Chains A and B, each alone.
Chain A
Amino acid sequence: MKNDIDLRTLKLEDTTYETRLTKKFLSRQPYARPCPSEIRAHIPGVICDLRVQPGQKVARGESLLVLEAMKMQNDLTAAVSGTVRTVHVSPGDVVPKGHLLIELDLHEHAP
């Protein structure tokens, strides 16, 4: 339960401090901007219905798949219109939060 003793550096407002870093600090994830062409699981769950296949055109708001989580069926829809490039999951798959489900090629001037 002891913090490891090794000192590292932490730069704050142009001053470099010698200090220990915490596990939580070291395991920070770099920020990734959300990408509308990537449909990801917003909650962990099970894929229970896949409604599109590669090559299929989808309009904004069209249902792509149903993700069952916490006994609720979540209808995942396209945020923008496009063509399905890849489907990464099959019905029955258990997916963690943030898992990439479907990739779209966005239509030009996609609303």
Chain B
Amino acid sequence: MRSEDEKTRELLKKKESLIQGGGPQAAQKQVSMGKLLARERIMTILDDDSFHEYDMFVEHKCSDFGMDKKQLPGDGVITGTGKIEGHPVCIYAQDFTVAGGSLGLMHARKITKIMDHAIKLGIPIIGINDSGGARIQEGVNSLAGYGEIFFRNTLASGAVPQISIVLGPCAGGAVYSPALTDFVFVVDKITKMFITGPEVIKTVLGEEITMEELGGAKVQAETSGNAHFYAETEQECFAMVKRLVSFIPWNSRKKADRFPPKPPKPHYDLNEIVPLEPRKPYDVREVIRAVCDDSDFLEIQEYWAANIVVGFARLSGETVGIVANQPLVLAGVLDVDSSDKAARFIRFCDAFHIPLVTFVDLPGYLPGVDQEHAGVIRHGAKVLFAYSEATVPKVTIILRKAYGGGYIAMCSRHLGADFVFAWPMAEIAVMGPEGAANIIFRKEISEAEDPEATRLKMVDEYKCKFANPYIAAANGHVDAIIRRDETRDFLIRAIEISGQKQEWRPLKKHGVPPN
């Protein structure tokens, strides 16, 4: 090292000390829990040598409860800018080794400052949460800090992508920052998210449950739907973050990066994947892989509400948002959870200029007292609202069934689809042939000598007449009926030709979506 002047040596010494965070013992504890250190996390996500740290010298201002004698390096959070595969981002990571990553006013100010940068600069904000919660010694000031973060999460929503990576506890009010962001990543055995923890639940309600069972990664990914991406390890999680960033734009004024077009992998054959019989299941993700570039599909919320599939793929190099009914799970019905999942994703895509491609194959809505009482009316309405509101290019392809309200909801022409294609085996009708025949021909069937034979005859009659795409096409609700092997070509052309699409909406402050 070349000889430095005294002032520079002093700086280096100070930085060296601050970089130690909570010190070797606390670091050892963090590592023993299977967790990376905050700084290591940032370095692993970001491109080599791209991290610039800010506000390293920020100190807390609390003097109560002996806090004036405590020095908390960086006030328990590391903030800065960097790049992910060349994309600039703002990033922060709470440092659990410093006072348990607890959030005080200055800790929060560092976060809100880097969030303000992200909003102004038009680049994504990535937050790594690992914190015991509010710094109790700071009282209402730590609550103020949370509130100021939530406010900025809301300002940033739809302006820049917001990614939360929950790598430790994130409890109480703190969970609302991830909840307000676009994508939440969780890691098995490390993530713990809840509003009220197991101890409170036990004292107040007498119910015993572990942190893992209450709000672990699996629960968030499978049961609550709070998480969008689940990983087994932190390393796997960071690889997923990088992949996600490659699909989305920096901000709402920019399009996502265009990649060199690549054909799908040759072993995906649409004629083999989809059974002709509409009652038979298949994995719609295979259909997506059969048409998208390099068969590369990044699924979001894979384990929650699996009866609908959402995620990002590319068509001829351009990012598209995919929404697809999944006949493999619950026959692909719409219900409370799948409606929420689809609607949120559609609104993200619309905010960030990502064209929507919808694959339709659904029998309708899930019947049941639980569904009605859980509000399937207002939840289902979100899908209608999100599709109707979206002004990005919207392309719909009806694969097999599109019955009743489900047909309307899945980005039909009537909700503003720019292009609607259908396969020749598509059945676009008010309901399936069995149900329809039983209602229309109820009298004939019940009065027949052989009701079952008559019923089958009537089902066949209905099938021939209505269970096809031609009536919808004759009315212009479907633009083209295409062979299965033409699907990719039609989708690519539709997306390409929609590149300059403009669509106007009535002037207003904002809509009021059902929730």
Contact = CB atoms under 8 A, between A and B. Distances in A.
A1 B331 contact: no
A35 interface: no
B207 A96 contact: yes
Interface string B416-434: 0000000000000001111
Residue from A20, A45, A46, A95 whose CB has the most chain B CB atoms within 10 Å: A20
Contacts of A14: 432, 434-435, 438
Given A3-B306, A3-B329, A44-B207, A13 B281 contact: no
A28 interface: yes
A10 B363 CA distance: 11
B307 interface: yes
A22 B306 contact: yes
A13 B434 contact: yes
Nearest to B222: A1
A21 B329 CA distance: 6
Given A3-B306, A45-B205, A96-B206, A15 B432 contact: yes
Contacts of A31: 369-370
B305 to A, nearest CB: 8
Nearest to B369: A31
Contacts of B327: 17, 19
Interface string B216-240: 0010011100000010000000000
B367 interface: yes
A10 B432 CA distance: 14
A56 interface: no
Nearest to A18: B281
B289 to A, nearest CB: 17
Nearest to B368: A28
Interface in A1-57: 1, 3, 7, 10, 12-25, 28-29, 31, 44-46
B204 A29 contact: no
Contacts of A15: 278-279, 363, 432-435
A48 to B, nearest CB: 13
A37 B4 CA distance: 86
Residue from A10, A17, A20, A31 whose CB has the most chain B CB atoms within 10 Å: A17
A32 to B, nearest CB: 10
Nearest to A12: B363
A12 B222 contact: no
A17 to B, nearest CB: 4
B205 A96 contact: yes
Contacts of A96: 205-207
B492 interface: no
B370 A28 contact: yes
A17 B331 contact: yes
Contacts of B431: 13
A15 B328 CA distance: 15
A13 B205 contact: no
Contacts of A24: 223, 337
A74 B221 CA distance: 35
Given A1-B303, A12-B363, A14-B432, A94 B206 contact: yes
Contacts of A95: 206
Contacts, number: 88
B280 interface: yes
Nearest to A32: B369
Contacts of A70: 204
A110 to B, nearest CB: 27
Contact of B370 (A1, A3, A10, A29): A29
B281 A20 contact: yes
Contacts of B364: 12-13
B18 interface: no
A16 B279 contact: yes
A13 B207 contact: no
Residue from A3, A7, A21, A25 whose CB has the most chain B CB atoms within 10 Å: A25
Nearest to B204: A70
A106 interface: no
Given A25-B330, A94-B205, A13 B303 contact: no
Contact of B330 (A13, A22, A29): A22
Interface in B279-293: 279-281
A16 B218 CA distance: 31
A101 interface: no
B184 interface: no
Nearest to B201: A44
Interface string B356-392: 0000000110111110000000000000000000000
Given A1-B222, A31-B369, A96-B205, A17 B363 contact: yes
A69 interface: yes
A19 to B, nearest CB: 4
Residue from B204, B303, B364 whose CB has the most chain A CB atoms within 10 Å: B204
A70 B328 CA distance: 42
A26 B230 CA distance: 23
Residue from A19, A21, A70 whose CB has the most chain B CB atoms within 10 Å: A19
A1 B330 contact: no
Contacts of B367: 12
A25 B330 CA distance: 8
A6 B384 CA distance: 32
B330 A21 contact: yes
A40 to B, nearest CB: 15
A20 B205 contact: no
Contacts of B432: 12-15
Given A7-B281, A13-B435, 7 more contacts: A12-B363, A13-B403, A13-B432, A17-B279, A17-B327, A45-B205, A69-B205
5 contacts: A13-B435, A14-B435, A15-B435, A94-B205, A96-B207
Q: Which 4 residue pairs spanning A and B have beta carbons closest together?
A: A13-B435, A94-B206, A17-B331, A14-B434
